[in-house]
Amino acid sequence: MKSYDHSFHAYIQGIILIGFALLMLWLVLSGNIVFYIAPMMMPFIYFAMITFFVLGIMQIFRSTSKDGEGEHQCSCESDHQIKGPAWVKVLIYSIFIFPIIFGFVLPDRMLNSEAAANRGIQYGSGLNINTTQDGTQGISSEEGSTSRADAFLEDPESYYDNNFGQDDDDIEHFQIEDFYDQDWFNEFYEEFAYELEQEDVITVTEENYLDVMTVLDLYLDRFVGKEIEIIGFAFREPDFEDHQIVIARFAMTCCTADVGVYGTLIESDEAHYFDDDTWLYAKGTITKGQYHDFVLPIIVDSYLVEVDQPDTPYVYPSFNR
């Protein structure tokens, strides 16, 4: 029976660990890490990168050791061999090697309108989204059921009990607004709404995107008739008319697994000139409109122009920067 070559396997394992460290380093240096990880997670990336590199170097040094006739033992007295024939070992190592290769070879890019269609657009901040009688989600109308924003303002304690006291199986997906703390929610957004009212033109940036969307959901009547400018990628619902388009952004809390899509409905005679996924700058007037009988802020009389994709294509909650 052919003896198990501990040195060879330690060397391969060391190379794999260093490979992952170099892949993370490449993503950080290239700036493409923003497509996968939120800024608040970067300390963990740096820690993992350094740890993988150190462990990889240690494994390579172990592979050069001549102690124990090439066998590397530890004090646990367990057998750390990979069991099975050669093809099994190749398969196991391939599970780790292929992600490294694909990480360097495949292009890095943000999610697009196809992903937005699959995940579903949340208009505004998502606070006004509620479940209708047929089980679908949408923005609450004036004549319909109470919106989540109104429900929160009327009874915060009951709102949190109803929305966050459920079993995990009942929660469909992660929500950005789940992190808003009821003790400061009203005070923060009331103050922020007052600040926006003093501006001649509301400028939506990567830093304040979700906060502005939340303010418009909570205090829409106070901003009707006010000008706003915003940047995002173009998205269309299947039933949109030629003059309708959504300026959307993906919002990330930790990583792409929890990304949500937040959009603002735009009405402009120029809308039909632009394809989906085109990055647009829009400037127009806020009005209170409806989509599928649901009330939401709509930007009308909009001026649209194509722009380059921002260096930071995703947006993040306030606490996440």
- Considering only 92-106, 182-196, 267-281, which range has the smallest mean pLDDT? 182-196
pLDDT, tens digit, for every residue of 129-180? 433 333 343 433 333 333 445 555 555 555 445 544 444 444 444 444 454 4
Report whether 108 contacts 247 (CB < 8 A).
Answer: no
- The pLDDT value recorded for residue 166 is 46
Report whether 214 contacts 189 (CB < 8 A).
Answer: yes
Domains of the chain by residue range: 6-105, 113-320
Q: Is residue 298 within a helix (H) or strand (E), and if so which, with residue range?
A: strand 294-306
Helix, strand, or coil (residue 226): coil
pLDDT, tens digit, for every residue of 27-54? 999 888 888 888 888 999 999 999 999 9
Separation CA 291–CA 116 (nearest Å)? 18
Query: Model pTM greater than 0.75?
Result: no
Looking at per-residue pLDDT, the higher value among 67 and 252 belongs to 252
Structure tokens, 267: 């009405």
Separation CA 59–CA 62 (nearest Å)? 5
Separation CA 139–CA 148 (nearest Å)? 9
- The pLDDT value recorded for residue 230 is 93
- The pLDDT value recorded for residue 217 is 85
Strands 294-306 and 260-267: parallel
Separation CA 69–CA 245 (nearest Å)? 69
- The pLDDT value recorded for residue 119 is 75
Q: State the average pLDDT over residues 266-292.
A: 89
Separation CA 136–CA 246 (nearest Å)? 20
Cβ neighbours, 10 Å, residue 162:
12
- Considering only 1-10, 102-111, 170-179, 262-271, which range has the smallest mean pLDDT? 170-179
Separation CA 264–CA 298 (nearest Å)? 7
pLDDT, tens digit, for every residue of 280-309? 999 999 998 888 777 889 999 888 999 998
Helix, strand, or coil (residue 102): helix
Average model confidence (pLDDT) for the chain? 77
Q: Residues of the chain with pLDDT > 70: what percent? A: 74
